[in-house]
Structure 1
Amino acid sequence: MDILTSKSDGILTIEFNRAERKNAITGAMYQAMADALIDGEQDAAVRAVLIIGKPEIFTAGNDLDDFLKNAPAGGKPDQSRPVYQFMRALSGTTKPVVAAVAGAAIGIGTTMLMHCDLVYAADNAKFSMPFVQLGLCPEFASSVLFPGIAGYPRAAEKLLLGEAFAAQEAVQMGMVSKVLPLDELLPYAKRQAAKLVALPAASIRATKGLMKRARAGEIEAALQAEVELFSAMLQAPEAKEAFTAFFEKRKPDFSKFA
């Protein structure tokens, strides 16, 4: 199974389990995570969610082969696709979500963290949002959330250039709460999730809801705008050049595009 899920002691754990492909996410994996989150939301015994990867890799983001084969036809967004179901389930859950990140978190591997409540990183963690490098635009409301977290200048640097940044910089920008040695990351994240389980569930829900309430409309608008633009840009010449270059293992040439 490329996604492992389990429930124990009030914690729903979702684990990326495709290390041989750098935990690259397929449509089936998005569907499995969406289903797990929806089930966890409906299960009163689940009081916290923990999302983890492997010690060497969190996730390389989308599996490009699978992603391109299942791209929306005609550049029009299809919000029934598993990736959008996952986005809605994660952004909409009332349960507190803890993420433990080791190794690389690329693309949606980084943007999904902005919808988690507690994010902890190992000292080997690296984050990147290379959407522009692929001829695309930000997704998962990162165009709104990341400037709010990091401030516009730092967000612009990371989103426009798409370059990777390390765990300590992620802490400085406010995206990650704490950096730990690799062998301490998962035990610490599990302890934090257990603390959430022990607290009053109604108070946790109310507090999370109040914190997210002020920006709910803005986030929804960003999600919608990004989905439409992202889908259209997938069909554009710049994205086709970027993906062709990726598969041909060469540097893309965007000089011919205005």
Structure 2
Amino acid sequence: MSDDHILVEHPEAHPGVMVIRFNRPEKKNAITTAMYRRMTQALHEAGNHQAVRVVVFLGTEGCFSAGNDLGDFLDFALNGGGGQPAAFEFLQALATIEKPLVSGVDGLAIGIGTTLNLHCDMTIASPRSLFRTPFVDLALVPEAASSLIMPRLMGHQRAFAMLVAGEGFPAEAALAAGLILKVVEPEAVEREALAMAGNLARKPPHALKITRNLLKGNGDDVLGRMDEELVHFTAQLRSAEARAAFEAFMRR
């Protein structure tokens, strides 16, 4: 059932912490439209729920997320879907939530499985993790304001290697680039991520919010770049070269 592909655990399970967990391991946690909508709903719930002070993103054993479900992309390309993709609404919610975000990555983190972490305040990963954004290979362009955030974070050369050349960054390379905070063994990823989140949840909330806002700035540039990327992304989704790239991928 698609409702089970995103599991949301409320603060009753982890005091002060909401967990959003990818749970589609048979498809390497590829994200469908329904999954984006559930995550967007969860982020809005977290933003409005006083008991939630921190949000944690987790995947399944050996896989964080393989990115967007290409079947959804192909359907959009073939049928010319109207309106903005559900992924964009999720990214807007991700970029504007005023509570700390933590992520724990074990295994594949592809496409939005990588760019999601750019909006997290602390990310840990296992040694077997791989961060990769093959947008150009699929005749697409970056999203999640990654074209703005990545060069700021890791410099032009590394950002170009990831976003344009499509090179994969193993955990140690991601650590050196500043994409993640630290590397822990696979069995410790969830435990460490929840411990980090629990520590943040126990801090004075108003001081925490102010300090996070000071670090992140007003975010208008991030939202503006998301809008700019969306124009190109949706145009490319409908392009002949993207359709050909999706069909070639699906034939593999």
With normalisation by structure 2, the TM-score equals 0.94
Deviations 1:105-134 (A, max 9, x none): 000000110011111101111010000000
2:67 equivalent to 1:67 = no
2:167 equivalent to 1:163 = yes
Deviations 1:184-224 (A, max 9, x none): 1111111110100110111111111111116x222122101
Range 232-241 or range 147-156, more displaced: 232-241
Q: Is the 8 A contact 1:103 1:125 kept in 2?
A: yes
- Unpaired runs of 5+ residues, structure 1, are 250-258
Distance 1:103 1:233 in 2: 28
Q: Is the 8 A contact 1:120 1:176 kept in 2?
A: yes
Q: Is the 8 A contact 1:122 1:167 kept in 2?
A: yes
Residues 151 and 75 (structure 1), Cα distance of their counterparts in 2 relative to 1, 3 Å cut: farther
Residues 24 and 121 (structure 1), Cα distance of their counterparts in 2 relative to 1, 3 Å cut: same
Q: Secondary structure at the residue paired with 2:164?
A: helix
Range 58-67 or range 33-42, more displaced: 58-67
1:74 Cα deviation from its structure 2 partner: 5.0
Number of the residue aligned with 1:142: 146
1:75 Cα deviation from its structure 2 partner: 7.9
Q: Is the 8 A contact 1:135 1:233 kept in 2?
A: yes
Number of the residue aligned with 2:251: 248
Alignment of 1:1-258 (within 5 A): 1-8=4-11, 9-70=15-76, 78-79=83-84, 81-213=85-217, 216-249=219-252
Range 16-25 or range 236-245, more displaced: 236-245
Q: Is the 8 A contact 2:40 2:89 kept in 1?
A: yes
- Unpaired runs of 5+ residues, structure 2, are none
Q: Is the 8 A contact 1:26 1:67 kept in 2?
A: no
RMSD: 1.5
Q: Secondary structure at the residue paired with 1:161?
A: coil
Residues 247 and 221 (structure 1), Cα distance of their counterparts in 2 relative to 1, 3 Å cut: same
Q: Is the 8 A contact 1:60 1:106 kept in 2?
A: yes
Distance 1:144 1:58 in 2: 23
Distance 2:53 2:78 in 1: 35
1:159 Cα deviation from its structure 2 partner: 1.0
Distance 1:62 1:231 in 2: 14
Range 126-135 or range 230-239, more displaced: 230-239
Q: Is the 8 A contact 2:60 2:106 kept in 1?
A: yes
Name the % identity: 39
What amino acid sits opposite 1:221 in the alignment?
A: G
Distance 1:27 1:37 in 2: 15
With normalisation by structure 1, the TM-score equals 0.92
What amino acid sits opposite 1:89 in the alignment?
A: A
Distance 1:218 1:45 in 2: 30
Q: Is the 8 A contact 1:24 1:63 kept in 2?
A: yes
Q: Is the 8 A contact 2:74 2:246 kept in 1?
A: no
Distance 1:155 1:50 in 2: 25
What amino acid sits opposite 1:227 in the alignment?
A: L
Q: Is the 8 A contact 1:129 1:158 kept in 2?
A: yes
1:234 Cα deviation from its structure 2 partner: 1.3
Q: Secondary structure at the residue paired with 1:94?
A: coil
Q: Is the 8 A contact 2:112 2:133 kept in 1?
A: yes
1:72 Cα deviation from its structure 2 partner: 9.7
